[in-house]
């Protein structure tokens, strides 16, 4: 009992001496975490100017899909694309080109076109799942099997070269709008009959975007850069005020009843929250903007004439340039969700599985402030893990420097330690002897 009592007394004294060390360790770990967080803040700057994707594999960033040889060797331009489901995506282009992919853009096969000499400018999926492709000479094609087969649709009343299609998502009825060189047209009977809708733009429409049957925008006109908004299905139109009127527009996307995005020439990006008043922002490119895609109300992609791709997650306030190898121009995007998409252009079709974020290269500039984006999987591999290692080493160094120093390995107790142990043992023997005498 004597030995056990003394051991417990010494152990308690040792625990009391170690308790400040536990606090020192907790403080060191907290400081290390702060160092890690500080390393994460500068992630975009660490990638600036790299010029190549961090990932470098087919599982992330933008990767070139396999297209037929006649597409890459001839004067074929792919103008637009649309997803039918998570795997099937179809793209159309000039010379009656229709390509179909069953693996979300990894490889493409040609599809027979019933109008093989007509340039196809646009493709869209209606709310019921039918794919529609349209182009020159009021040509409209439809497919009910995911783009595998196509048949001409009725175009009664439709005139001009079709440049854009819009299918407002309505469960009550079926609407389709077509922008053509002759003006704006509306069909209420699944494309069988078309009637012209009077707009202030008149002819030479380039883009149409409707969020629902009532709220939408048109852009174009003989004088480029005219954009008008309607909230009553085209009965009345209000002019858009941009504060920097575009001289031309290449893409228009509706994101809400009064919200829309628009691309203009010379890297201008426009956004409206009330339908008519447009704010202007600038992409990090000096070239003409060509294509625009939006998922939800905050996430979007844009392409410039110099084959630069841009990505935003804050509604266009900040754009990050996605670094890809030098490729021909991109004219169209299609995204199935916020991560899976394709980009098509001059004889090329690229695909991504992570929104292209693994190809982040150079931060875009808006208002003079650099963009900051959340870390991706490659940030974790190439930036965050080294930062965590540095933080861990720093916390261990602080813990070691702040603790008591020892002169080498633990050896026999010194004189002062012997005196302390002898005193403890003496007091223990005295208490034991006193209990023994009292019991007699």
**Which residues in 337-428 belong to E strands, given as ranges?**
341-345, 349-352, 360-363, 365-366, 369-370
* Final residue before a domain boundary, out of 375, 396, 419: 375
pLDDT along the chain (440 residues), means of 10: 46 48 60 51 32 43 86 81 97 95 96 91 94 96 97 93 89 83 92 92 91 92 83 92 59 92 75 87 64 89 77 82 68 94 90 80 41 49 58 68 56 58 61 53
pTM: 0.71
> Using the 8-state DSSP alphabet, how is residue 107 labeled?
B
pLDDT at 271: 85
Q: Are 145 and 157 in contact (CB under 8 A)?
A: no
* Final residue before a domain boundary, out of 343, 375, 407: 375
Domain that holds residue 36: 2-41+380-439
pLDDT at 111: 95
CATH classification at residue 290: 2.130.10.10
pLDDT at 391: 63
pLDDT at 120: 96
Residue 207: closest CA among 114, 302, 121, 89: 121
Q: CA angle, 313 as apex, 309 and 316 as ends, to 5°?
A: 70
Q: Are 262 and 219 in contact (CB under 8 A)?
A: yes
Distance CA 374, CA 62 (A): 18
167 Cβ contact list (under 8 Å, min separation 6): 124, 125, 126, 127, 132, 175, 176, 177, 210
Distance CA 248, CA 219 (A): 9
- Based on the fold, state whether residues 104 and 180 are members of the same structural domain: yes
Distance CA 305, CA 251 (A): 13
Where residue 69 falls (left for φ over 0; alpha for ψ -120 to 50; beta otherwise) is alpha
Is residue 51 situated within a structural domain?
A: no
Residue 261's alpha-carbon distances to 82, 251, 364, 390, in angstroms, are: 19, 8, 18, 43
Is residue 50 situated within a structural domain?
A: no
Where residue 67 falls (left for φ over 0; alpha for ψ -120 to 50; beta otherwise) is beta
* Final residue before a domain boundary, out of 325, 341, 375: 375
- Report how far apart the first and last C-alpha atoms of the chain are (Å, whole number): 19
- Based on the fold, state whether residues 165 and 196 are members of the same structural domain: yes
Is residue 48 situated within a structural domain?
A: no
């Amino acid at each position: 009992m004597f030995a056990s009592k003394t051991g417990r007394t010494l152990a308690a004294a040792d625990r009391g001496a170690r308790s400040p060390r536990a606090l020192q360790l907790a403080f060191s770990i907290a400081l290390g975490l702060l160092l890690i967080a500080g390393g994460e803040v500068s992630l975009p700057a660490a990638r600036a100017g790299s010029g190549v994707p961090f990932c470098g594999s087919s599982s992330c960033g933008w990767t070139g899909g396999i297209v037929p040889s006649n597409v890459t060797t001839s004067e074929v331009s792919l103008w637009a694309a649309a997803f039918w489901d998570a795997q099937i995506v179809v793209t159309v282009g000039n010379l009656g080109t229709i390509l179909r992919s069953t693996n979300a853009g990894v490889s493409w096969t040609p599809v027979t076109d019933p109008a093989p000499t007509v340039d196809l400018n646009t493709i869209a999926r209606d709310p019921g799942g039918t794919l529609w492709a349209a182009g020159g000479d009021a040509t409209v094609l439809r497919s009910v099997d995911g783009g595998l087969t196509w048949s001409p649709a009725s175009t009664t009343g439709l005139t001009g070269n079709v440049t854009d299609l819009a299918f407002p998502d309505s469960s009550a009825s079926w609407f389709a709008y077509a922008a053509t060189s002759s003006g704006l047209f509306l069909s209420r009977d699944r494309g069988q009959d078309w009637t012209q809708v009077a707009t202030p733009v008149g002819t030479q429409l380039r883009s149409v975007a409707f969020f629902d049957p009532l709220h939408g925008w048109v852009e174009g006109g003989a004088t480029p850069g005219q954009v008008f908004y309607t909230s009553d299905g085209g009965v009345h139109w209000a002019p858009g005020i941009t504060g920097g009127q575009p001289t031309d527009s290449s893409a228009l996307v509706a994101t809400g009843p009064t919200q829309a995005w628009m691309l203009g020439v010379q890297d201008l990006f426009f956004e409206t929250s009330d339908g008519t008043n447009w704010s202007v922002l600038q992409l990090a490119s000096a070239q003409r903007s060509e294509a625009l895609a939006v998922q939800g109300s905050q996430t979007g992609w844009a392409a410039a004439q110099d084959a630069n791709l841009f990505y935003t997650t804050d509604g266009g306030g900040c754009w990050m340039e996605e670094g890809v190898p030098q490729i021909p121009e991109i004219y169209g995007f299609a995204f199935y969700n916020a991560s899976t998409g394709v980009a098509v252009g001059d004889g090329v079709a690229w695909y991504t599985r992570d929104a292209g974020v693994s190809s982040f290269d150079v931060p875009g500039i808006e208002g003079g402030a650099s963009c900051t984006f959340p870390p991706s999987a490659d940030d974790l591999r190439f930036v965050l893990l080294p930062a965590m290692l540095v933080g861990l080493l720093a916390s261990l160094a602080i813990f070691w420097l702040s603790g008591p120093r020892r002169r080498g390995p633990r050896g026999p107790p010194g004189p002062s330690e012997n005196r302390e142990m002898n005193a403890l043992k003496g007091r223990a023997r005295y208490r034991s002897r006193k209990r023994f005498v009292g019991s007699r």
